[in-house]
A and B are shown apart, each in its own frame.
Chain A
């Protein structure tokens, strides 16, 4: 962001002037629609820079070979015309949006309209409430620190540690601002007094059962050594930074850097469908307001349908989000007789409802609340899986499809893993627990990742999970892997 603006620009100045006029016009239209985006700086960049920002997520982020790999892949796909990034927005205040120089004026107009949808979403959606407004500065400070560590401790050592940390970077707690419940049983769980009724004896049965359970738990707690952490910890990166026994300061710092940057990305991972749907909804509305020639409108329609094209092997978030939002608008504009009478829904409230949705929903809640039977069928959504060496459609029942989609977005698509014990065997061994919700882990990947965790923890590490309906504990002690079956009756880690 610091390059000299006086350098020779080869770019057509007329193009920039025209784009400036368009931005002004689009901004007015957006405001008329009721959008309220962050102030947004647009920057025209060459394709190589666009793909670099795309692969790093943010400009100025620290170096790592995996980013170089992503960069190479994205750029190659672009060079061969297989895929194209139109835009990249950075959620800061003011926001930064990068437009590709190589795109023509009309394409960049669409992108500007789309971007204002995003920056409005960033400003108003609840999940973005706590993201840092100056992330670009932060990542570049972080990158400087990591560079310094490379200088002090050697590039190889830093890279090796980063390899390990990045392997578990998704395992932070997105709800870190919600205060944890206290470890002692809550007093307000006490059964409430009930009015007299002929069924009083049922309540006393329930109370007796509850009392018995409490006593059992107390007895169990007494016989048990004290476990650390007392509650399972979802934030692996934080836990390792705080408690890994043999780390140096710079290593703890790297853990915290990766965690901080991940916290910035998590809301975007949680709202991909909603955010892209919102931006697509508004770019479509905005472009209709511009005075486009027939040719321009055809070009726009082509670009729009390209971006929103449905795909057989994955669900296109632009497409899904756009159609869910349109459907919400329709249903709240023209409620059915039943909705009017039973839910008291007034007609003509479509827009208003949309603005409420953009404030409160994440992808998971958007799909749970608004992906209806009719939509699943209309969009022809399905679930498929691998059978032998063929990928086959296995489910079209709308509830199962919706639940499958929701499951794939839960914990932004990653297995839910917690730290349950940091002193297993009384030997400072770390136990991770995979909250199994019907899907097995990829075993060889899990073992390789466990090696990375072991590298950070420096003592033996274990992962409890379920493989083919058998509870197992995978272990790695720094030299070899082992695996034991766990008796389901016993409690974890015993």
Chain B
């Protein structure tokens, strides 16, 4: 060994500084997300993420600010393959969605740090203190069903529970450490088994009856608001019930049951007769969702421009619905200047039942408060385990 150099190795297995500070960073992300939930709930990239498990959440406040040159106005140096020319395009920035291009740079504070979180984590934060009001015991809810949850992975276990994917990964890891990353030479040490715990879940069903006005007066914005709301509503109910169904009813002067796709994309023209939707909802409940077995959550979005003579009829139908439903929600989406109450809303004002919840939404950021009002836990109401 040369006097002027040494090689050493230490045991670093208890060293955690990087992880500890990484945890703190994650915690700060969570804090920042919580502060911005109102914006995040109606964030397009999440609502339209279509089942992606990890979503990007734009948050302020975690950028590491410095005095720096404006990267968009600065010249940078780069290197070509030998044949670069002035005018060559090296890269193109993705255009920000929804045609608001060109404005971003003007507003101060539009710098976002994009945090990656799983949809489940995000949902947990949004639903943290939400509950199911007016929960009723249903017949089927009394049936306990025993299910298993796989909770752990161990090196020993019955072969029937072999976790093949993890086993292969272990084998690959071991072989790769020896310089040959391929699957061969399986040893007992590679085997991984799933271990489960029996858990008891209450068999429970819920159905969301999503109703929306698709008359001429409902535009892109209104549909987007409804979509954000239903996205989280269904997600929330799924955390509480085994089985959550959702039926979509769109209506103008007539109501019909439609697919999710149609519900959010199709528009019709013409007037509005809200009662048609409520009648269809009642019929569907009667045919398919026996209130003895189902928790029923009807929610209706409209801009409130109902045919005036229909309003009274609506009030009557809502009362009927509330007899068999857990809660009834009405969301009135009024954008911009049309913020005064609609005639339908005034008619609903007569309903004095705490199961009836009416909200007015005039901005994306109001979806979150609306959700919170709808699912606010009332005192003395039991919730499911």
Q: Which residues of A contact B (CB under 8 A)?
A: 1, 3-5, 7-9, 11, 16, 19-20, 23-24, 27, 37, 39-46, 48-49, 51-52, 55-56, 63-69, 71-72, 75, 94, 101, 104, 166-168, 170-171, 310-316, 319-320, 379-386, 389-396, 401, 404-405, 408, 414-415, 417, 434, 439-449, 452, 481
Chain A neighbourhood of B7, CB < 8 A: 16, 19-20, 23, 41-44
19 A-B pairs with C-beta separation under 8 A: A24-B1, A41-B6, A43-B7, A65-B21, A65-B24, A168-B66, A312-B78, A314-B78, A315-B79, A382-B86, A383-B78, A384-B76, A384-B77, A384-B78, A385-B73, A390-B93, A391-B90, A405-B77, A415-B67
A144 to B85, CA, bound (A): 54
Q: Which of B49-57, B106-114, B355-363 contacts A (4 or more CB under 8 A)?
A: B106-114
Whether the Cβ atoms of A313 and B67 lie closer than 8 Å is no
Q: Which of B12-20, B133-141, B255-263, B291-299 contacts A (4 or more CB under 8 A)?
A: B12-20
A448 to B65, CA, bound (A): 6
Given contacts A23-B5, A68-B23, A391-B92, A380 and B80 within 8 Å (CB-CB): yes
**Closest residue to A394 on the B side, CB-wise?**
B86
Whether the Cβ atoms of B80 and A312 lie closer than 8 Å is yes
Whether the Cβ atoms of A443 and B108 lie closer than 8 Å is yes
Whether the Cβ atoms of B66 and A68 lie closer than 8 Å is no
Q: Nearest Cβ in chain A — how far from B29, in angstroms?
A: 9
Whether the Cβ atoms of B8 and A43 lie closer than 8 Å is yes
**Closest residue to B94 on the A side, CB-wise?**
A389
Told that A69-B21, A389-B101, A414-B67 touch, could you supply 13 new A-B pairs with CB distance under 8 A? A41-B8, A43-B8, A43-B10, A51-B18, A56-B17, A68-B19, A68-B23, A72-B25, A380-B84, A385-B74, A393-B80, A393-B84, A449-B65
Tell whether B81 is near chain A: CB-to-CB under 8 Å: yes
Q: Nearest Cβ in chain A — how far from B285, in angstroms?
A: 49
Given contacts A52-B17, A71-B18, A9 and B89 within 8 Å (CB-CB): no
**Closest residue to B14 on the A side, CB-wise?**
A3
Chain B neighbourhood of A37, CB < 8 A: 4
Chain A neighbourhood of B90, CB < 8 A: 312-313, 384, 391-393
**Closest residue to B11 on the A side, CB-wise?**
A7
Given contacts A384-B76, A390-B89, A439-B73, A49 and B12 within 8 Å (CB-CB): yes
Chain A neighbourhood of B85, CB < 8 A: 393, 396
Whether the Cβ atoms of B89 and A383 lie closer than 8 Å is no
Q: Indicate the member of A68, A390, A391, A414 with the most B CB atoms within 10 Å.
A: A68
Tell whether B95 is near chain A: CB-to-CB under 8 Å: yes
Tell whether B239 is near chain A: CB-to-CB under 8 Å: no
A451 to B168, CA, bound (A): 53
Contact with A along B155-181 (1 / 0, CB 8 A): 000000000000000000000000100
Chain A neighbourhood of B28, CB < 8 A: 65
A396 to B86, CA, bound (A): 7
Given contacts A52-B18, A380-B81, A42 and B66 within 8 Å (CB-CB): no
Whether the Cβ atoms of A64 and B21 lie closer than 8 Å is yes
Tell me the count of chain B residues lying within 8 A, CB to CB, of chain A. 63
Whether the Cβ atoms of A404 and B67 lie closer than 8 Å is no
Given contacts A380-B81, A393-B86, A42 and B67 within 8 Å (CB-CB): no
Tell whether B70 is near chain A: CB-to-CB under 8 Å: yes
Given contacts A69-B25, A384-B78, A408-B77, A393 and B15 within 8 Å (CB-CB): no
Chain B neighbourhood of A417, CB < 8 A: 67
Given contacts A415-B69, A441-B68, A71 and B21 within 8 Å (CB-CB): yes
Whether the Cβ atoms of B5 and A40 lie closer than 8 Å is yes
For window 336-368 of B, CB contacts with A under 8 Å fall at none
Tell whether B379 is near chain A: CB-to-CB under 8 Å: no
Given contacts A442-B68, A445-B111, A72 and B12 within 8 Å (CB-CB): no
Whether the Cβ atoms of A313 and B76 lie closer than 8 Å is yes
**Closest residue to B111 on the A side, CB-wise?**
A444
Chain A neighbourhood of B83, CB < 8 A: 380
Whether the Cβ atoms of A68 and B18 lie closer than 8 Å is yes
Tell whether B88 is near chain A: CB-to-CB under 8 Å: yes
- Taking a contact as CB atoms closer than 8 A, the residue among A9, A391, A401 that contacts B11 in the complex is A9
Tell whether B265 is near chain A: CB-to-CB under 8 Å: no
A69 to B113, CA, bound (A): 12
Given contacts A16-B9, A104-B179, A391-B89, A311 and B4 within 8 Å (CB-CB): no
Tell whether B22 is near chain A: CB-to-CB under 8 Å: yes
Whether the Cβ atoms of A42 and B5 lie closer than 8 Å is yes
Chain B neighbourhood of A23, CB < 8 A: 2, 5, 7
Chain A neighbourhood of B5, CB < 8 A: 23-24, 27, 39-42
Whether the Cβ atoms of A49 and B15 lie closer than 8 Å is yes
Chain A neighbourhood of B76, CB < 8 A: 313-314, 383-385, 408
A384 to B79, CA, bound (A): 10
Whether the Cβ atoms of A445 and B68 lie closer than 8 Å is yes
Whether the Cβ atoms of A404 and B6 lie closer than 8 Å is no
Whether the Cβ atoms of A310 and B12 lie closer than 8 Å is no
Q: Nearest Cβ in chain A — how far from B177, in angstroms?
A: 8
Q: Nearest Cβ in chain B — how far from A286, in angstroms?
A: 14
The 5 closest A-B pairs by CB, nearest first: A68-B21, A3-B10, A52-B18, A68-B22, A7-B11
A9 to B8, CA, bound (A): 11
- Taking a contact as CB atoms closer than 8 A, the residue among B68, B78, B88 that contacts A415 in the complex is B68
